[in-house]
Amino acid sequence: MKKRAAASWLRFLQILYLVTLLFAIVPYGSVHDPAIALVGVLFGTLAICSSISPLRLELRAPLSWTTVLTGTIVMAALLQTLPLGLSHPSWVATGQILGLGSKTISVAPSATIVGLLSLLLPVLAFATGLIIFQKDNSAQTLFRTMAIIALVGAVLGLYEFSIAPGQLLFQPRKAQMSGVSAFFVNRNTAATFLGMGASLWYALLLQRLQKLGIAGLQGLLLRADGNAYRNAIPTFLAFLSFLIMIIALFLTKSRAGIAASLVGIFVTSVAMLQSEPKLHLGFWRRRSSIISSAVVVVALLGLYGSQFIGRLTDANFLMDGRWCFYKGLLAAIMERPFTGLGFGTLRYTYPAYRDPACFSLDLMLDRGHNGYLELAMGMGVLSLVVVAIAIYYLGRLLLIGIVSRHRMRPVPAAALGCLVIAVLHTATDFSLQILGVACFLAAILAAGVVASCPQRKRYRKSPKLKRSSA
């Protein structure tokens, strides 16, 4: 009875987790306060409820690293809100006039505290995902659910782009549509989301093809029996889903988003096609995965990337407002390289460092359009070390899973591709600052880490036989 009650409780938590992710992703990526508050309450409830569940030994290290690295950032941000007398001299008079606490490192301490919520919620999504989906079958369920959510977003985005361009989530669109945006307002944000979804479906497609093998593929093409049809249907559905994701991705018209996604798909392909190192295959056989993956990326560019290539070669590319934006961010970083100006205070600090010689910026001035520069501006350059450690640790875990876990390989392979997409696109946009995208990535990474840490079999020691004295 206890085991049945525990299983029912775990199943309830898993359903609540998936519902919470839907609330985070679907309504425009939860960019409005009511949605953020609801997601915060739900993830907080999940964290409390899941904390009483035992965590298997192999996942304790990832959870501990998550706690330590997140705690480091949170403590540093909270120190910025204390009256330590380390504020920038130019902000003292301004702080007195506007009531923004001139004795604190952060220009706007309240904004720093509120900004921490955008950091903590994806971390909670990752941590609770590790606990609630800590078995292989559960991790596969989470992985496939994320793929289905991404596919629904792609289909909805294509519908709006081709049939109802004046709508967004079946509501009147406030801004003119410039590309597929899926569940989100911004097409660049949608590019990150759709690129990660394409990596998921590509891993699932390659898994189906690897299971079939050459003989299976020949059977699909040459035989028309029932077994061939049964094998063909899931393979065809995986291919169709991947194709839909790719078409929606290119129709976002996001240069950086498409480029980062192609790199992520390439990484996923290499990870899925990589031969086992213990087989000691020849030079070309070992590198066939890289060559095959490069052919796939080039083929995708040839089929759907003409507009993308045209935008990259556009003469106005170097005049993009981001480059002007980055000059101001770098100036602010050089001013306070170690203490920063306050986590989450870009809207208050950036105008003072904006270059007046720059042309008018057609960009949102409350986000940095480069997550690394914005973080360094807010918390100092040392905060980037924490980010680098987190990326390295996650990447290393996923690589171990790719090499050691043949049956579960699609999960860490796709998760690694999604991590690459997020790391690259963050350098030119603010997609990960959108709560829905960050939680989507956190769930995928949680599934990837679980799949990379197999449960060790523990055998009971057999009792030693006493020697006879005879």
Say whether pLDDT at 216 is over 70: no
Lowest mean pLDDT among 22-36, 69-83, 164-178: 164-178
Report the alpha-carbon distance of residue 68 to residue 62 in Å, rounded. 10
pLDDT at 315: 45
- Pick the residue with more confidence: 285 or 222? 222
Number of domains in the chain: 1
Question: Is pLDDT of 138 > 90?
Answer: yes
Which residue in 252, 201, 298, 267 sits closest to 424, CA to CA?
Answer: 267
Does a structural domain hold residue 145? yes
Q: Which residues contact 260 (CB under 8 A, 6 or more apart)?
A: 191, 192, 195, 420, 421, 424, 425
Instruction: Compute how many other C-beta atoms are within 10 angstroms of the C-beta atom of residue 66.
Output: 20
Model confidence at 119, in pLDDT bands (50, 70, 90)? Answer: confident
Residue 178 lies in a domain: yes
Its pTM stands at 0.88
CA distance 329 to 323: 10
Q: Please report, as a single letter, which amino acid is at residue 149.
A: I
> Looking at the domain assignment, is residue 467 inside a domain?
no
Report, as an integer, the average pLDDT of 47-63: 89
With cut-offs at 50, 70 and 90, classify the pLDDT of residue 276. very low
Q: Which amino acid is at 266?
A: F
Q: Which residue has the tokens 């739900």?
A: 42
Nearest alpha carbon to residue 266 among 308, 301, 237, 238: 301
Q: What is the mean pLDDT of the chain?
A: 82
Distance between CA 188 and CA 204 in Å, rounded?
25
Reported as a single tens digit per residue, the pLDDT across 355-408 is: 776 655 555 567 778 889 999 999 999 999 999 999 999 999 999 999 888 889
**In 3D, which of 141, 153, 192, 199 has the Cα closest to residue 10?**
141
Q: Tell me what pLDDT residue 368 has.
A: 76
For residue 251, is it within any domain?
yes
For residue 171, what is the enclosing H or E element?
strand 171-172
- Specify the pLDDT at position 213: 66
Residue 372 lies in a domain: yes
Three-state SS for 448?
helix
Q: What's the length of the chain?
A: 470
* Residue-level pLDDT at 415: 96
- DSSP bridge partners of 60: none
Which range marks the domain in which residue 37 is found? 9-452
Cα-to-chain-centroid distance, residue 24: 13
Structure tokens at 1: 């009875």
Least confident of 124-128, 312-316, 344-348: 312-316
pLDDT of residue 114: 86
Q: Is residue 279 packed enough to be buried (19+ CB in 10 Å), middle (13-18) or exposed (0-12)?
A: exposed
Tell whether the model's pLDDT for residue 3 goes beyond 80: no
Residues paired with residue 167 on neighbouring β-strands, in sequence order: 172
Evaluate if residue 264 carries a pLDDT over 90: yes
Average the pLDDT over 19-45 and give the result.
89
Q: Give the per-residue pLDDT at 192.
A: 95
Distance CA 276, CA 326 (A): 43
Span 14-20, mean pLDDT? 94
- For 362, half-sphere exposure in the C-beta direction (CA atoms, 13 angstrom radius) is 2
Report if residue 2 sits inside a domain: no
- What's the pLDDT at 110? 85
Most confident of 163-167, 388-392, 429-433: 388-392
The arithmetic mean of pLDDT across residues 15-37, rounded, is: 89
- 30-34, 111-115, 348-352 — most confident range: 111-115
What was the pLDDT predicted at 468? 39
How many Cα atoms within 13 Å fall on the side-chain side of residue 442?
A: 30
pLDDT at 80 over 80: yes
State the pLDDT at residue 442: 96
**What confidence score (pLDDT) does residue 140 get?**
94
CB-based burial label for 318 (10 Å; 0-12, 13-18, 19+): exposed
For 49-102, give the DSSP string: HHTTS---GGGHHHHHHHHHHHHHHHHHHHHTTS--S---GGGHHHHHHHT--T
Tokens 């480029």 sit on residue: 259
List Cα–Cα distances, 117 to 129, 224, 313, 364, in angstroms: 18, 56, 39, 20
Q: Is the pLDDT of residue 283 over 50?
A: no
CA–CA distance, 241 with 199 (Å, rounded to integer): 11
Amino acid at 278: K
The DSSP call for residue 465 is P
Is residue 254 situated within a structural domain? yes
Would 464 be classed as within a structural domain?
A: no
